[in-house]
Structure 1
Amino acid sequence: MSRMMIQAAVTMNQLQNKLDLIGHNMANSQTTGYKTRQADFSSLLFQQIDNLNSPANAEGRLTPDGIRIGSGARLGATNINLEHGSLVTTNRVLDTALIGENQFFQIQVTENGNTETRYTRDGSFYLNPINDNQDVMLVSSDGNPILGENGPIVIPEGFEAMTIRENGQIVVERGNVQEIAGTIAIVEAVRPRLLEATGQNMFRLPDLAALGYNFGDIIQDVATAANVLQSGVLEQSNVDIAEQMSDLILAQRSYQFNARTISMGDQMMGLVNQLRS
Structure 2
Amino acid sequence: MLKSLYSGVSGMKGFQTKLDVIGNNVANVNTVGFKKSRVLFQDILNQNISGATSPTAQTGGINPMQIGLGTKIGSIDTLHTPGSPMTTNVGTDLAIDGDAFFVLSPASGIGGYDLENMPTYLTKAGNFTRDANGYLVNANGYFVTGVVEDTNNPGEYLKLRIKIDEDTVADKKFVSYSIDTQGNINVVNEDGKSGKLAFNGTDYYLEENGDSPNIISLGTAIVPNPAGLKKVGNTMFEVTGNAVNTVGAEPEIGRIRDINGGQINSGVLEMSNVDLTEEFTEMIVAQRGFQANSRTITTSDSILEEIVNLKR
TM-score (norm 1): 0.84
Q: Secondary structure at the match of 1:172?
A: strand
For 1:240-276, what per-residue CA distance to the aligned partner results, in whole angstroms no more than 9, with x for missing partners? 1111111110011111111111111111111111112
Q: 1:235 to 1:212 in 2, by over 3 A?
A: closer
Looking at structure 2, the residues matched to 262 and 90 of structure 1 have their Cα atoms a distance apart, in angstroms, of: 52
| Cα contact 2:241–2:249 (8 A) shared by 1 | no
Q: 1:222 to 1:184 in 2, by over 3 A?
A: closer
Q: Number of aligned pairs?
A: 259
Deviation at 1:210, TM superposition (A): 11
| Cα contact 2:240–2:247 (8 A) shared by 1 | no
Q: 1:211 to 1:264 in 2, by over 3 A?
A: farther
Deviation at 1:140, TM superposition (A): 0.7
| Cα contact 1:208–1:215 (8 A) shared by 2 | no
Q: Secondary structure at the match of 2:89?
A: coil
For 1:72-106, what per-residue CA distance to the aligned partner results, in whole angstroms no more than 9, with x for missing partners? 11111121221212212111010111011x32001
Q: Secondary structure at the match of 1:32?
A: coil
Structure-1 residue corresponding to 2:193:
177
Q: 1:202 to 1:70 in 2, by over 3 A?
A: same
| Cα contact 1:109–1:118 (8 A) shared by 2 | no
Q: Which amino acid aligns with 1:119?
A: L
Looking at structure 2, the residues matched to 267 and 85 of structure 1 have their Cα atoms a distance apart, in angstroms, of: 49
Is 1:40 aligned to 2:35, yes or no?
no
Structure-2 residue corresponding to 1:202:
236
- Structure 2 unaligned residues grouped into runs of 5+: 52-58, 108-116, 148-158, 167-172, 198-215
Is 1:153 aligned to 2:187, yes or no?
no
Q: Which amino acid aligns with 1:163?
A: S
Looking at structure 1, the residues matched to 106 and 40 of structure 2 have their Cα atoms a distance apart, in angstroms, of: 30
Looking at structure 1, the residues matched to 96 and 246 of structure 2 have their Cα atoms a distance apart, in angstroms, of: 29
Match of 1:191 among 225, 230, 234: 225
Looking at structure 2, the residues matched to 238 and 50 of structure 1 have their Cα atoms a distance apart, in angstroms, of: 47
Is 1:14 aligned to 2:14, yes or no?
yes
| Cα contact 2:228–2:243 (8 A) shared by 1 | no
| Cα contact 2:136–2:161 (8 A) shared by 1 | yes
Q: 1:29 to 1:49 in 2, by over 3 A?
A: same
Structure-2 residue corresponding to 1:108:
105
Looking at structure 1, the residues matched to 9 and 41 of structure 2 have their Cα atoms a distance apart, in angstroms, of: 15
Structure-2 residue corresponding to 1:56:
none
CA RMSD between the two structures: 2.7
| Cα contact 1:137–1:145 (8 A) shared by 2 | yes
Q: Secondary structure at the match of 1:69?
A: strand
Deviation at 1:151, TM superposition (A): 2.0
1:1-277 to 2 correspondences below 5 Å: 1-50=1-50, 60-61=60-61, 63-64=63-64, 66=65, 68-100=66-98, 102-109=99-106, 115-129=118-132, 135-149=133-147, 150-157=159-166, 158-175=173-190, 176-181=192-197, 182-207=216-241, 215=249, 219=252, 221-224=254-257, 228-276=263-311
| Cα contact 1:188–1:221 (8 A) shared by 2 | no
Q: Secondary structure at the match of 2:131?
A: strand
| Cα contact 1:189–1:220 (8 A) shared by 2 | no
Q: Secondary structure at the match of 1:105?
A: strand
Deviation at 1:213, TM superposition (A): 6.0
TM-score (norm 2): 0.75
- Structure 1 unaligned residues grouped into runs of 5+: 52-58, 130-134
